[in-house]
A and B are shown apart, each in its own frame.
Chain A
C-alpha cells in the first residue's frame, strides 16, 4: 500500500494555499510535513484523507487503507474509555482493543468516563483508535499535542511498530519523534503564488 500525491493544488476557505505538491509514501516509511503555521498542513492532510477535494492534481491511494486523526479526537465524554474504543473497533470491523489499551497505557483508565480524562489522556485515547483501525496508512495531524515526554515516546514506539509491519505514516508535527526512516517535507517552498489579478476566469481568483 503506497500513497502517491502528484502536482496537488489545494485551497482553504476559497484561498489557494499550496500548489504543485508532489510526494510518494511507500509502505514502511514515514513522512513528516513541516512548515510555518497556516501554510496548509491540515488542509493537505484532509485532502489526502479524502475529506475535501483538491483544486487540481492527483491523490492516488486506496481509500480503505487510510486512517485519519485530526485535531479533535472524536471522544464521547459520557462513554467510558473501553466503550469509546470498542465502538471504533466495531466500525472498522477489527477485534480486540486490549493491544491498543496497553500501547497507550490506558488499561488502568478502562472504565473511566472519557469526560473525566485529562487532555493528554484524551489524546492518548484518540491515538489508540488508530491502532484499532487496522489500516496501513496513518494520516496524523499534530498527534503529539498535549502529550508529555513519556507519552510521546509511547506514541513513537507505536508508530515505529506500525512502520515495521509495513504500514506508513504521513504526519504534521514539530516534534522530532526519533523515527529512523522518517523523511521530512518542508511545505514552505510549495506556498501558492497569488494568481494574476486579470486572470478572472471560471474561478474568481
Chain B
C-alpha cells in the first residue's frame, strides 16, 4: 500500500502529473469573485468562508477524473486488481494520494486567499479547521465518483453531475463551521457533523468504490 501511495505521489509530482493545477484553479476562482460581486470589503468578508469552501470544492472536483483514468488506460488497474492488494485498499490509497496532492495544498493556501477575501481575524482558525476536516471527505466521495465513471469516454462532465450532489452535506456543514467561526458563534454541532461525515465516508465509501471499480473492470 505504501508503495502505491509513493508511486502515485511521484507520478503527480513529475512532469504532466498535474500537481498544482487544482491550487492555481482555486486561486483564480477566488480572485474572480470580487470582480463578480464588487469590491466592498464588508460584503467580501461576509461571503469569504463560503467562497473559499466552494473554491476548494471545485478545485477538488477538477482533478478527480485523473484519479483512475491513467491507470485504467495503461492497464495498471487490471494488474492491481490481480495483485495481493485488496481493491478497497487501492481505492483508499488513491483517495489519500488525491487528498495529499490536492486537498492538503488547498488547506494550506486557504489562509492566503482569506486575506484577499477580507476574512475577519477570528475566521482563520475555523476555516483551516473545517477544510482540514472536510477535504478528506471530498477526496473519498470524489474517488467513488471517479470509480463510477472510469470506463466512460466522456466521463468528466458526468463525474461532476454525480459527485456534486454527494458533496452537499459536506459543503453545508463545512461552510457552516467556517461561517460561524468567522462571526464568533458556537460551532460545535456543525464541527461534529463534519467530522462524522468525514469519518463515515472514509470508513464505508471505499467498499462501494471498490465494488464499482470491479464492475467497471470486467
Contacts and interface: CB of A to CB of B under 8 A. Distances in A.
Q: Quick check: do A and B touch in the complex, using CB within 8 A?
A: yes
A176 interface: no
A51 B3 contact: no
A70 B76 CA distance: 10
Nearest to B71: A74
Contacts of A90: 2-3
Given A50-B82, A52-B217, A75 B10 contact: no
Given A76-B76, A90-B3, A49 B14 contact: no
A170 interface: no
A46 interface: yes
Interface string B132-157: 00000000000000000000000000
A93 interface: yes
Contacts of B200: none
Nearest to A90: B3
Interface in B3-56: 3-4, 7, 10-11, 14-17
Interface string B77-108: 11111111100000000000000000000000
B74 interface: yes
Contact of A51 (B4, B76, B217): B217
Nearest to B76: A74
A91 B11 contact: no
A71 interface: yes
A111 B11 CA distance: 16
> Which label, helix, strand, loop or mixed, suits the secondary structure of the A interface?
loop
A50 to B, nearest CB: 7
A66 B84 CA distance: 10
A76 B79 CA distance: 13
A92 to B, nearest CB: 6
B84 A72 contact: no
B79 A74 contact: yes
Contact of A87 (B3, B14, B77): B3
Contacts, number: 72
A80 B85 CA distance: 23
A72 B74 contact: yes
B218 A64 contact: no
Contact of B3 (A50, A70, A75, A91): A91
Contacts of A78: 11, 14-17
A46 B4 contact: no
A172 B217 CA distance: 20
B98 to A, nearest CB: 17
B82 A68 contact: yes
A71 B76 CA distance: 11
A72 B78 contact: yes
Contacts of B4: 87, 91
Nearest to A74: B76
A82 interface: no
Given A51-B78, A72-B75, A91 B84 contact: yes
Interface string A61-86: 00010111111111110110001000
A139 to B, nearest CB: 8
A133 B85 CA distance: 12
A91 B76 contact: no
A72 B77 CA distance: 10
A53 interface: yes
Interface of A: 46, 49-53, 64, 66-76, 78-79, 83, 87-88, 90-93, 129, 133
14 contacts: A67-B82, A72-B75, A73-B75, A76-B7, A76-B11, A78-B11, A78-B17, A79-B10, A79-B14, A87-B3, A87-B4, A88-B83, A92-B83, A93-B84
